[in-house]
Amino acid sequence: MLAFIIRRLLILPIILIGVTLLIFSMIWMLGPERLIGTYVKSPEALKSEKAVERLIQKYGLDRPAPEMYVKWLGNVLKGDFGYSNVGRQGVLQSIMELIPYTFELALYALIPVVFVGIWLGVIAGSHQDKPLDHGIRIFAIIGWSLPDYVFGLLVLLVFYSYLKWFPPGFLSDASMKVMREGPWKDITHFVTIDAILNWRFDILWDAIRHLIAPLLTLSYLWWAYILRITRSSMLEVLRKDYVRTARAKGLSEKVVINKHVKRNALIPVATVSGGMIVQLFAGTVIVETIFARPGLGRFTATAAVTLDYFSVIGAALFFSLILIVTNLIVDISYALIDPRIRLS
């Protein structure tokens, strides 16, 4: 077990260096002429060809690639990711400011995925080929085929334009005013939790009202996915001999499913959960853009459209950090759950 964790931790720096190499080579592909535009604040500085030459030399953009990489990596390690035009401050500061919003959205999205997805999967699996199973499967396959941005726009169309239930955005103006002018203390930077801690249930309700539609959009794909995986692994486990033994002992179907089948059937669900968490974070790019919520996702999208290279690259580094850390945690906890991996 320890050897497994150590091996996994030893690979970590290699992958991290690999990612920075990959991302750096993208920066490098931009070429000095385009890169220089991200260093200067006013277009006047780039008027003459000579000025451009001088700036390229000043920032060392004409140096060989390995030298530039080392310098860039040094800056990144110091926390200097460059200036973000979208955030109107350093890239790192912008990202740090936006992370709580995105974490709040992505982490809450896990709740319906785990509960609804697994619950429906267990029902479908234990009623194989009955109408209930067919209904759930049709839901799953349609859900899995519906792109999140199409679904998000439809949600906006129905629940905002038509029913006027869930407004887009982050909070209503009134709540924003309270947060700006007080009485309000930022404690966790998660607005739902802060609202409870500040004893402002009106703001909590306001935040939830703004969260429902984005959460639905971000997570329904994964309800369908987890459902499918739970179902097929239920079917596999149900065919095992020990299940037959349990039934032969005269245990009720409910006990067989809950005590004997479910636990083993959920192991494959645990394996895909890492990928799912990462995809939920990546999905915020689309969801935050559609619902006009502040966050890392919308920051990335806006930066990409406005060609704010350093912001895009900084955001990409953060997304891959999330991916690498999540995978590490999942791998280790998976080894803890399943003894077969620990031993090999």
Interface residue with other proteins, options 51, 267, 304, 328 (CB under 8 A): 304
Which residue from 70, 141, 187, 270 is in contact with other proteins, where contact means CB under 8 A? 141
Q: Which stretch binds other proteins (CB under 8 A): 72-80, 93-101, 254-262, 286-294?
A: 286-294
Q: Are 280 and 222 in contact (CB under 8 A)?
A: yes
Report d(CA 334, CA 326) in Å as an integer: 12
Is residue 272 a contact partner of residue 225, using CB atoms and an 8 Å limit? Answer: yes
Cβ 153 to other proteins, closest distance in Å? Answer: 5
CA atoms within 13 A on the CB side of 171: 19
Compute the least distance from the CB of residue 26 to other proteins, in Å.
5
9 binds other proteins (CB under 8 A): no
State which of residues 86, 136, 313, 335 lies at the interface with other proteins (CB under 8 A).
313
What's the closest the beta carbon of residue 11 comes to other proteins, in angstroms? 8
Mark the segment that binds other proteins (CB under 8 A) among 1-9, 160-168, 175-183, 187-195: 160-168
In this structure, the number of other CB atoms found within 10 A of the CB of residue 261 comes to 25
- Which residue lies nearer to other proteins by CB, 200 or 293? 293
Among 29, 77, 248, 343, binds other proteins (CB under 8 A): 29
DSSP 3-state assignment of 73? helix
| 150 CB-side CA count, 13 A | 7
Residue of 37, 112, 135, 168 that binds other proteins (CB under 8 A): 168
- What is the C-alpha separation between 207 and 215, in angstroms, rounded? 12
98 vs 162: CA distance, rounded Å: 30
Q: Tell whether omega for the bond before 214 is within 30 degrees of 0, i.e. cis.
A: no
Q: Which of 80, 97, 133, 236 binds other proteins (CB under 8 A)?
A: 236
Distance CA 64, CA 69 (A): 9
DSSP labels for 4-63?
A: HHHHHHHHHHHHHHHHHHHHHHHHHHHHHHHHHHHH-SSGGGGSSHHHHHHHHHHTTTTS
Is 279 among the residues that bind other proteins (CB under 8 A)? yes
Looking at the Cβ atoms of 22 and 197, the one nearer to other proteins is: 22
DSSP state of 292: T
| 344 near other proteins (CB under 8 A) | no
**65 sits near other proteins (criterion: CB under 8 A):** no
264, burial (CB in 10 Å: exposed 0-12, middle 13-18, buried 19+): middle
User: What residue ranges bind other proteins (CB under 8 A)?
Assistant: 11, 14-15, 18-19, 21-23, 26, 29-30, 141-142, 144-150, 153-154, 156-157, 160-162, 168, 236, 278-279, 281-283, 285-286, 289-290, 292, 300-301, 303-305, 307, 309, 312-313, 315-316, 319-320, 323-324
